[in-house]
């Protein structure tokens, strides 16, 4: 398996946020899409910028793909690319800027991020049509664009991570500061993310503001260590275990891309798991896509522990990493 080449800033530079760091590792291990929801200043962008460091070094085939993408965009630096891209387009990005187009059918942000990370900050601020155009390439790993009778299919296999505030002012559900938004404004803001797009985020996490001890705690007493060991090292070992387990069972794709048949083979749902999903579906009306997503995350969690067996405890953990707005104190429309 390719070694980790520790590209970009260290995860240990983020104080506190132990659960968010773990979610980053799960996203890296399985290719899962991650949405971070929290107030301004809670560290969402810092966390997103550290996802590339948790990804394995690209193999030769992936390096050639990334080099070809830059060459087609007339950005080739004259040598083969060996680092995964990190693209963070502004929320004012146009449809063509995101998916590609123009007279030469130039690649957009989702192609420029191929085999790397696409970070969408302030997710609800993006135009709805720009966000909706991401649904198909997230499933297929490619984007087809057509302009003036010409058509091109471009690669678009990305690690997607997004961040958003819970409301326009950013402090809904936040303890230190009081939210100033009306219930109607909060609901309208959250509803800018369509259900089908939200459903495609396997991991959805509430990120709270770090506490003063988190920010100022010295040495091994702060949240950047796990049992005296840097969090990054512990997370990387879990990711490497997941890669080894997938290799042993002959799996060629990321867990996020597992088919229903593969899930039945490698992540079967037993009696306890079925009851757990039935209870969760009763509370949150989980869609078929959501249930399969939970099974994929559960498989990744088992992989990170180095286990062949994926049990109900992994399904329960996957549910805990999937924020459900319906179960929050979300304001109800009159």
| Count of C-beta atoms within a 10 Å radius of residue 188 | 15
Can you give the C-alpha Rg of the chain in angstroms?
20
What are the structural domain ranges in the chain? Answer: 11-220, 232-327
Q: With CA atoms as reference, report the closest residue to 58 among 24, 25, 81.
A: 81
Structural contact between residues 119 and 86, judged by C-beta atoms closer than 8 angstroms: yes
Stronger pLDDT, 119 or 15, i.e. the higher one = 119
> How does pLDDT run across 320-331, given as a tens digit for each residue?
999 865 444 444
Using alpha carbons, list the distances in angstroms from residue 80 to 112, 153, 180.
Answer: 15, 22, 51
Single out the residue of 97, 43, 52, 100 nearest to residue 72, CA to CA: 100
The pLDDT, as a whole number, for residue 151 is 86
Q: Which residue has the higher pLDDT, 333 or 293?
A: 293
Nearest-CA neighbor of 35 among 117, 94, 120, 102? 120
Residue 118 or 41, more confident? 118
Looking at residue 242, its pLDDT comes to 96
User: Which position has the token pair 């520790």?
Assistant: 6
Task: Give residue 229's pLDDT.
Answer: 47
CA distance 210 to 44: 11
Contact 108, 99 (CB under 8 A): yes
Structural contact between residues 91 and 121, judged by C-beta atoms closer than 8 angstroms? yes
Residue bearing the bigger pLDDT, 220 or 215: 215
- Predicted confidence band at 316 (pLDDT cuts at 50, 70, 90)? very high
Per-residue pLDDT tens over the stretch 254-311: 999 999 999 999 999 988 999 998 888 776 678 889 999 999 999 999 999 999 999 9
The CA-atom distances, in angstroms, between 213 and each of 150, 221, 230 are 58, 9, 17
The CATH class of 11-220 is alpha beta
SS3 239: helix
DSSP-derived pairing of the beta strands 229-230 and 225-226: antiparallel
> 24 by DSSP, 3-state: which?
helix
Tell me what pLDDT residue 334 has: 27
Integer Cα distance of 225 and 53 in angstroms: 17
Question: Which residue blocks in the chain are alpha helix, DSSP H?
Answer: 18-30, 44-49, 51-54, 60-72, 95-99, 109-112, 128-132, 135-140, 183-190, 195-199, 212-216, 231-248, 260-266, 271-284, 288-304, 312-320
Residue 183 has pLDDT above 80, yes or no: yes
1's tokens: 């398996």
If we measure between CA atoms, which residue out of 142, 160, 135, 120 comes closest to residue 28?
Answer: 160
Helix H, strand E, coil C: the string for 78-136 is CCCCCCCCEECCCCCCCHHHHHEECCCCEECHHHHCCCCEEEECCHHHCCHHHHHCCHH
């Amino acid at each position: 398996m390719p070694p980790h080449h520790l590209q970009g800033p260290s995860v240990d530079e983020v104080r506190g946020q132990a659960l968010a760091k773990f979610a980053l590792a799960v996203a890296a291990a399985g290719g899962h899409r991650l949405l971070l929801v929290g107030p301004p200043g809670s560290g969402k962008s810092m966390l997103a910028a550290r996802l590339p460091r948790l990804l394995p070094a690209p193999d030769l085939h992936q390096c050639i793909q990334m080099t070809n993408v830059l060459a087609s965009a007339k950005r080739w630096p004259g040598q083969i690319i060996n680092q995964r891209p990190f693209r963070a387009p502004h929320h004012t990005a146009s449809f063509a800027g995101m998916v590609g187009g123009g007279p030469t059918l130039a690649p957009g942000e989702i192609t420029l991020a191929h085999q790397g990370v696409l970070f969408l900050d302030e997710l609800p601020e993006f135009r709805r049509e720009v966000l909706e155009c991401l649904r198909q390439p997230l499933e297929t790993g490619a984007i087809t664009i057509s302009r003036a009778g010409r058509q091109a299919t471009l690669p678009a296999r990305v690690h997607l991570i997004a961040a958003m505030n819970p409301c326009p002012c950013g402090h809904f559900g936040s303890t230190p500061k009081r939210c100033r938004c009306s219930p109607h404004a909060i609901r309208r803001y959250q509803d800018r993310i369509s259900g089908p797009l939200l459903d495609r985020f396997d991991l959805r996490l509430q990120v709270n503001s770090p506490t003063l001890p988190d920010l100022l705690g010295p040495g091994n007493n702060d949240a950047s260590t796990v049992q005296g060991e840097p969090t990054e090292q512990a997370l990387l070992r879990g990711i490497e275990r997941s890669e080894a387990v997938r290799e042993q069972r002959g799996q060629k794709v990321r867990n996020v891309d597992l088919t229903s048949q593969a899930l039945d083979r490698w992540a079967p749902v037993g009696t306890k798991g079925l009851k757990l999903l039935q209870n969760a579906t009763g509370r949150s009306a989980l869609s078929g896509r959501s249930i399969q997503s939970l099974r994929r995350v559960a498989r990744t969690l088992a992989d990170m522990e180095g286990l062949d067996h994926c049990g109900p405890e992994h399904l329960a953990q996957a549910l805990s990493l999937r924020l459900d707005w319906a179960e929050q104190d979300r304001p109800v429309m009159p």
